[in-house]
Structure 1
Amino acid sequence: MVVVTNLIISIVVIILLQLLGMLVFSWMTPFKDMEELRKGNTAVGLALGGKFMATAIILGVAAYTNTSIWYLMLWFAVGYVCLIAAYWLFELATPGLKVSEHLQQGNNAIGILLCAVYLGTSFAVSSLIV
């Protein structure tokens, strides 16, 4: 019974952290992600999908390598800060290219590149989780 309870608590915490992560990412963009998706903006969909997959990778590795919910949350926070830093570093590394504007305009190349930045960062950060 204790194992089932711990499993349920872990799943709930993982879902809540994933949702929280996506909410924070949506606050970072000057446009409404869901509005852009309703319009069929593929670039925003790619970037948003990359964010979702990246946070899921970090959460999955954190859950797999830690038996404590507290360590899972700690490692998720560390990984998540790295994802946010990757976004801002990407912005700094591309002067004269306002990423959020290009996403809102539907620039799929930027959406794909940003998706890859998120996924690459999550794989790299996940290798550090112990």
Structure 2
Amino acid sequence: MIVFDLAISIVVIIVLQLLGMVVFSWMTPFNDLEELKNGNTAVGLAMGGKFLATAIVLGVAAYTNTSIWHMMLWFAVGYACLILAYWVFEWATPNFKVGEHLKNGNVAVGTLLLFVYVGTGFAISSLII
């Protein structure tokens, strides 16, 4: 029974991680995978930050909850906070569009966004405990 529960948890975690990345890709005004294929480092950095931040929140949610339903709930709360962080970042930088700078390969913006996501992921994960 423990092996079955572990297998179900792993499948749910993978699905949530992939779902999180799909939702993040809908938020950008360009095709993330197409930009990666074109070698856009800025988009790669931002996507990596999204992936790592999502994994941090998901990992802490999985570690601190014994119920898969509670894990999914806390992941949803944490993930909503990550999305909010993106929009706050957009709002806090009214003089330029973050998505345009990423599409144009601005590595500085991609790097900053990576750390905004990861930092927010760590901060949010401390609330889940």
TM range, smaller chain:
over 0.9
Aligned residues: 129
> What is the aligned partner in structure 1 of residue 48 from structure 2?
49
1:107 alignment partner in structure 2: 106
Q: 1:58 maps to what in 2? A: 57
Q: How far apart are 1:29 and its partner, in Å?
A: 0.6
Tell me whether 1:33 sits opposite 2:32 in the alignment: yes
Matched, 1:93 2:92: yes
Find runs of 4+ consecutive structure 1 residues off by over 3 angstroms: none
Structure 1: 5+ residue stretches without partners: none
Hey, what's the Cα distance between the residues in 2 that align with 1:78 and 1:115? 20
Q: For 1:64 and 1:81, locate their aligned partners in 2 and report how far apart those are by CA, in whole Å.
A: 19
Deviations 1:34-78 (A, max 9, x none): 000000000000000000000000011011100000010001000
- Residue matched to 1:73: 72
Q: Give the CA deviation at 1:96.
A: 1.1
Q: Structure 2: which 5+ runs fail to align?
A: none
Deviation string 1:83-118 (CA, Å, 9 cap, x unpaired) is 000000000111111000000000000000000000
Separation in 1 of the partners of 2:57 and 2:84?
A: 15
Residue of structure 2 in register with 1:21 after alignment: 20
Q: Name 2:81's counterpart in structure 1.
A: 82
TM-score of the superposition, structure 2-length normalised?
0.99
Equivalents in 2 of 1:76, 1:49: separation in Å?
Answer: 18
In 1: Cα distance, 2:83 partner to 2:126 partner:
17
Equivalents in 2 of 1:32, 1:59: separation in Å? 25
Q: What percent identity do the matched residue pairs reach?
A: 74
